[in-house]
Amino acid sequence: MRDELKYTEVRNYTTFTGALYPRLELSYQIFGPGLDSSSPTVLVCHALTGNSKVTGEGGWWDGIIGPDKLIDTNYYTVIGINIPGNGYDQKPENLQPRYFDFTIRDIATLFVNVLKQIGVHQLDFAIGGSLGGGVCWELAVLFPDFVKTIIPVAADWKATDWIIAHNCVQLQILENSKDPLHDARMMAMMFYRTPASLKSKFNRAWNKERNMYNIESWLYHHGEKLKDRFTIEAYRLMTNLLSTLDITKGRGSFEDVAKRIKARIVIVGIDSDFFFVPEENHNTFYKLIELGKDADYLEIESIHGHDAFLIEFDQLTNLLFPIFDHKSEKRDETVTLDTINGI
């Protein structure tokens, strides 16, 4: 498995906000047969605190990517690209102090720039969770002929008022807290889970050693854990990027923009998602079907909320298996309004 971190650069890049960057270095990893093979290619777009390490030891989506797993790296060549400034390559990034220059459209554009540089001129699949799912939406709009199928998981084509409000508070914590990264992460975890999820895990249990409830200890743990592997600048950048998600901005209505998309669209929602709420996914799917687009809607059933895309690997595998089943030539049936249960 070819998983070493590689680098390339983009020169004289002008962002969609009009900022010129003479040089941007981007890092990426490749898993599976490699680009010199004839295997289908899968781009995995990482979530807010994710990175290019999508599989293997420490891989954030190892539950569904790897040898003999859903996205089988014996067959598929899998590519993970780091959003510049996420800090995974531990190199100083000149864009971090100017995080507001960048939008998700820039990330999609930079990713395609990298892919073309390394010899990928069309993707079979682009899949991503949360923020990464938003990148998939932009890829399909910006480069209609570049990707055959997009699979946004626990994501939508826009940041709602709810998400923008959450991100606003996150940025205020980063600006004003005595322990900014720690405290921002504690607050964010409340949006990524549900009351039922926390009850099932802790049930008001008391931690005698730390003299606090276990839920409190868990939140503090996640705050400390993020501090160990993330910087404030990177978290600020990624949070702001999430707020820029909107494929319609400056382009017209959703219907106008969606008409440009040629890729098959497989939306994977979560019935308990408190962040990218399922109702928004349902509405998006309805509109796509009305436009005659090649679209599917699949749904994870879980008490765990938004983070279910990082927990419910068996369900995700079962839902997407017909799409990634390379051993069968039969294409799974497209989900239509009449075949959706419960919406």
- Tell me if 275 is assigned to some domain: yes
CA distance 4 to 242: 28
Which of 242, 264, 293 is a domain's end point? 242
Find out whether 295 and 258 touch, Cβ atoms under 8 Å: no
Q: How high is the pLDDT of residue 334? A: 46
Do both 226 and 258 map to the same domain?
no
Do both 129 and 278 map to the same domain?
yes
Do both 80 and 118 map to the same domain?
yes
Do both 133 and 254 map to the same domain?
yes
Do both 285 and 217 map to the same domain?
no
Residues 6 or more apart whose Cβ sits within 8 Å of residue 312 = 300, 302, 304
| Average pLDDT of the chain to the nearest whole number | 93
Do both 145 and 187 map to the same domain?
no
- Tell me if 81 is assigned to some domain: yes
- Tell me if 1 is assigned to some domain: no
pTM of the model: 0.93
Q: How high is the pLDDT of residue 95? A: 52
Q: How high is the pLDDT of residue 229? A: 87
Which of 184, 216, 242 is a domain's end point? 242
CA distance 272 to 270: 6
In percent, how much of the chain has pLDDT > 90? 87
Closest CA to 262 of 121, 150, 157, 144: 144
Q: What is the mean pLDDT of residues 249-265?
A: 97
Q: What is the mean pLDDT of residues 212-224?
A: 96
Q: How many domains does one find in the chain? A: 2
Do both 16 and 152 map to the same domain?
yes
Q: How high is the pLDDT of residue 131? A: 98
Do both 186 and 304 map to the same domain?
no
Q: How high is the pLDDT of residue 217? A: 96
Do both 187 and 50 map to the same domain?
no
Do both 268 and 152 map to the same domain?
yes
What's the domain range around 228?
162-242
Do both 153 and 167 map to the same domain?
no
Do both 331 and 184 map to the same domain?
no
Residues 6 or more apart whose Cβ sits within 8 Å of residue 340 = 285, 297
Which of 242, 266, 296 is a domain's end point? 242
CA distance 154 to 175: 28
Q: How high is the pLDDT of residue 48? A: 96
pLDDT digits (tens, 9 = 90+) for 226-246: 998 889 999 999 999 999 999
Q: What is the mean pLDDT of residues 25-38?
A: 94
pLDDT tier for residue 329 given thresholds of 50, 70 and 90: low
CA distance 41 to 35: 8
- Tell me if 168 is assigned to some domain: yes
- Tell me if 260 is assigned to some domain: yes
Per-residue pLDDT for 341 more than 50?
A: no
Per-residue pLDDT for 340 more than 80?
A: no
CATH, residue 212: 1.10.1740.110
